[in-house]
């Protein structure tokens, strides 16, 4: 279809079936894409070397990975949510779908992210607090009850325990009758950024990267439409790096996962097209647009020129734009509604396939239903009222945006080259060098906000004295914890202890042998082994990550 639309736009024929003409309020017809040839009443020279001469849907995809972009289908709205237990989260899932959410982005609590069961003493006080508690396959069965997994794609925002959660999702879907060979979905599963930006790691660097490779290889062979990794520059930027480094570090991390998978004998076109990215979007609007345009172009070149990819879809930088927790403020939280609208605008103008828009109250609490509705309505306004789906890459050809795009590409290349010169991303993270650099940048940014050099509305300028924010705090519900602990106890009593024991022994043997652990993990989750039990087996073989401390 991409080639069909591109051919018809070039020839001036009618739009393909299903792509309706669009008119501005003034009656001017809005074309699906514009180039220099459209200037001066259609008599433009068409000259120049900028990306404005490129066609969307064609290599190197500066202007978008699809020829028709939002004219054919708006971006996926995938709000991030999850709290308490699986039942409470299921209720919020259905609320978001009814409100217009077109994808789900699942938050897990800290114990689940770190591979702990809810009754582990180390989990005390954290169960269900910042995400959904998950102990076994039963929690996935409850959380996604009534959700059409063909119509609503699901992203699992988890990293250290990602292999287990992917196995649970696939097992749950298969049990409900879905064909996992055609099942779509995504897992964040980017452990290297976790070691830079968040801290919910479990295993040391090298076995963690091997586990990521296990999930990529397994999905390539058994669930080829599933995206087992969403490389997450988002959290590295949240931790302090600049926009160019956010993308540069993400690309170096993605290359590390690609290299690990290629060592297993897969061809680049067998799996790389299912890798995706999670990027941040806040700050200077045009800079963000340029970042994504430059990133698409660079990633396409990396896959084609460095890895020899032949399939154009392998070269797509498929991405979710998450906007943008770091930009939100505790002071005057209602201002975050406006910030979110501009972050969404940046993401749409830059051609994101999916958007997860932060809610105005997230600096305080788990978002309320009302706050999540406002974020969804913000994106729906862009679609229905503001014409953001009318034409592809509307800023393409702008002197400013094209120059920024070229400049951003150079900055991203420089960030990547620095990592390579220092021994590579894996060594840089294992030794703490990348973390140190990002932390120093975070300190410098905070200092600039404190002294007023970096202007922040409501924080260091345009303040209102003695202002009391109007924020509804998410309640802590003891009954959710009690229900989770009771469910875990029941699962252990009802399951086959022999089946669990066999699966865990197989997992231990495969981990010791260096075999792909995913088949054994899938067997274990189907036997209702818990997150903590599976993690404990792997930790017994791999050990646990200790954060490097440098002075």
Grade residue 321 by pLDDT with cuts at 50, 70 and 90: very high
Token pair for 244:
């160019």
Omega before residue 60 within 30° of 0, cis: yes
Q: Is 204 exposed, middle or buried (0-12, 13-18, 19+ CB in 10 A)?
A: middle
pLDDT at 116 over 70: yes
Q: How much is the average pLDDT of 316-331? A: 90
Q: Which of 72-86, 120-134, 462-476 has the lowest mean pLDDT?
A: 462-476
- The residue ranking higher by pLDDT, 138 or 364, is 138
User: Among 136-145, 228-237, 322-331, 351-360, which is the least confidently predicted range?
Assistant: 322-331
The stretch 502-507 carries a mean pLDDT of 98
Handedness of CA 355, 361, 367, 370 (dihedral sign): negative
In degrees, rounded to 5, the angle at the alpha carbon of residue 340 between the alpha carbons of residues 339 and 343 is 90
More confident residue, 265 or 6: 265
Question: CATH: 3.20.20.240, 3.60.20.10, 3.40.50.880, 3.50.50.60. Which one for 75-388?
Answer: 3.20.20.240
Q: Which residue has better confidence, 144 or 51?
A: 144
Torsion angle (degrees, nearest 10) of CA 294, 296, 298, 301: -150
d(CA 356, CA 101): 10
Q: pLDDT-based confidence at 476, cuts 50/70/90?
A: confident
SS3 186: strand
At 551 the pLDDT is: 57
If pLDDT is split at 50, 70 and 90, which confidence band does 54 have? confident
pLDDT digits (tens, 9 = 90+) for 417-468: 999 999 999 999 999 999 999 999 999 999 999 999 999 999 999 998 777 7
Percent of the chain with pLDDT over 90: 83
Strand pairing class (230-232; 276-280): parallel
Residue 6 predicted with pLDDT over 80: no
CA dist 502 and 506 (Å) reads: 6
For residue 157, give the nearest of 132, 125, 183, 126 by alpha carbon.
Answer: 132
Q: What is the three-class DSSP state of 108? A: strand
State pTM to two decimals.
0.93
**Burial level of 87, CB count in 10 A (0-12/13-18/19+)?**
middle
Q: Please tell me the predicted confidence (pLDDT) of residue 548.
A: 80
Residue 8 has a pLDDT of: 37
HSE toward the beta carbon, residue 376, CA cutoff 13 A: 23
Q: What pLDDT is stored for residue 238 in this prediction? A: 93
Which pLDDT score is estimated for 464?
Answer: 85
Eight-state DSSP code of residue 132? B
* pLDDT over 70 percentage in the chain: 93
Please report, for the chain, the start and end positions of each structural domain, with discontinuous segments joined by +.
75-388, 487-542
24 has a pLDDT exceeding 90: no
Rounded mean pLDDT, 255-262: 98
Residue 46 has pLDDT above 50, yes or no: no
pLDDT value at 525 more than 70 = yes
CA-CA distance, 419 to 428, in Å (whole number)? 7
Q: How far apart are CA 130 and CA 474, in angstroms?
A: 10
Instruction: Look at residue 44 and tell me whether its pLDDT is greater than 60.
Output: no
Tens digit of each residue's pLDDT (9 = 90 or more) over 327-357:
999 999 999 999 999 999 999 999 999 999 9
Query: Residue 15 pLDDT more than 60?
Result: no
Average pLDDT over residues 43-68: 75
Q: Are 253 and 192 in contact (CB under 8 A)?
A: yes
Angle between helices 369-384 and 335-349 (to 10 degrees): 40
Over residues 407-419, the pLDDT tens digits come to 999 999 999 999 9
Q: Kindly state the tokens that stand for 440.
A: 């120093």
- Residue 330 belongs to what H/E stretch? none
Continuous segment of H or E residues that includes residue 348: helix 335-349
Amino acid 10: pLDDT: 37
pLDDT at 4 over 70: no
Name the strand (E) or helix (H) holding 323: strand 319-323
Res. 56: pLDDT tops 90: yes
Please determine, for residue 155, whether its predicted confidence score (pLDDT) is greater than 60.
yes
Question: What does the pLDDT look like over 168-194, one tens digit per residue?
Answer: 999 999 999 999 999 999 999 999 999
Task: Give the mean pLDDT of 29-39.
Answer: 85
């Amino acid at each position: 279809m991409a080639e069909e639309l591109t051919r018809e736009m070039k020839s001036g024929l009618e739009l393909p079936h299903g792509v309706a003409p669009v008119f501005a309020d003034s009656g001017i017809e809005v074309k699906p894409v514009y180039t220099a040839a459209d200037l001066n009443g259609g008599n433009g020279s068409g000259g120049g070397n900028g990306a404005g001469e490129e066609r969307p849907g064609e290599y190197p995809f500066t202007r978008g990975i699809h020829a028709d972009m939002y004219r054919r289908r708006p971006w996926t709205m995938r709000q991030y949510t999850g709290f308490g237990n699986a039942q409470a989260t299921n209720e919020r899932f259905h609320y978001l779908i009814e409100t217009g959410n077109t994808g789900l982005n699942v938050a897990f609590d800290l114990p689940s992210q770190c591979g702990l069961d809810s009754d582990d003493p180390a989990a005390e006080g954290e169960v269900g607090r910042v995400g959904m508690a998950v102990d076994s396959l039963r929690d996935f069965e409850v959380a996604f009850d009534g959700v059409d997994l063909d119509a609503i794609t699901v992203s699992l925002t988890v990293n250290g325990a990602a292999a287990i959660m992917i196995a649970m999702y696939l097992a749950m879907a298969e049990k409900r009758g879905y064909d996992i060979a055609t099942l779509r979905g995504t897992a964040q599963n980017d452990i290297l950024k976790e070691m830079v930006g968040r801290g919910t790691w479990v295993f040391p660097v090298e076995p963690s990267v091997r586990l990521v490779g296990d999930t990529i290889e397994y999905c390539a062979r058994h669930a080829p439409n599933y995206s087992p990794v969403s490389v997450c520059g988002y959290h590295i930027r949240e931790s302090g790096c600049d926009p160019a480094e956010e993308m540069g570090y993400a690309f170096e991390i993605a290359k590390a996962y690609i290299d690990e998978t290629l060592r297993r004998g897969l061809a680049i076109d067998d799996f790389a097209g299912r890798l995706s990215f999670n990027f941040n979007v806040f700050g200077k609007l045009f800079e963000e647009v340029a970042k994504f345009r430059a990133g698409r172009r660079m990633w396409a070149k990396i896959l084609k020129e460095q890895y020899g990819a032949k399939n154009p879809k392998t070269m797509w930088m498929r991405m979710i734009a998450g906007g943008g927790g770091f930009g939100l403020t505790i002071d005057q939280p209602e201002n975050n509604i406006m910030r979110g609208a501009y972050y969404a605008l940046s993401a749409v103008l830059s051609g994101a396939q999916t958007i997860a828009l932060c809610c105005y109250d997230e600096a305080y609490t788990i978002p309320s239903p009302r706050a999540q509705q406002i974020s969804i309505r913000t994106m729906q306004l862009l679609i229905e009222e503001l014409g953001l789906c009318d034409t592809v890459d509307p800023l393409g050809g702008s002197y400013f945006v094209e120059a920024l795009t070229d400049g951003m590409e150079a900055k991203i290349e420089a960030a990547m080259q620095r990592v390579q010169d220092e021994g590579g991303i894996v060594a840089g993270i294992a030794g703490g060098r990348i973390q140190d650099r990002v932390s120093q940048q975070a300190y410098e940014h905070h200092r600039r906000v404190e002294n007023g050099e970096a202007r922040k509305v409501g924080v260091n300028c345009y303040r209102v004295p003695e202002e009391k924010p109007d924020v509804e705090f998410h309640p802590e519900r003891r009954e959710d914890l009690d229900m989770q602990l009771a469910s875990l106890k029941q699962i252990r009593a009802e399951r086959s202890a022999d089946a669990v024991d066999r699966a865990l022994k197989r997992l231990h043997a495969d981990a010791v042998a260096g075999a792909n652990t995913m088949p054994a993990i899938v067997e274990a989750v189907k036997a209702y082994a818990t997150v903590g039990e599976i993690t404990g087996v792997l930790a017994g073989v791999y050990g646990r990550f200790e954060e490097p401390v440098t002075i």
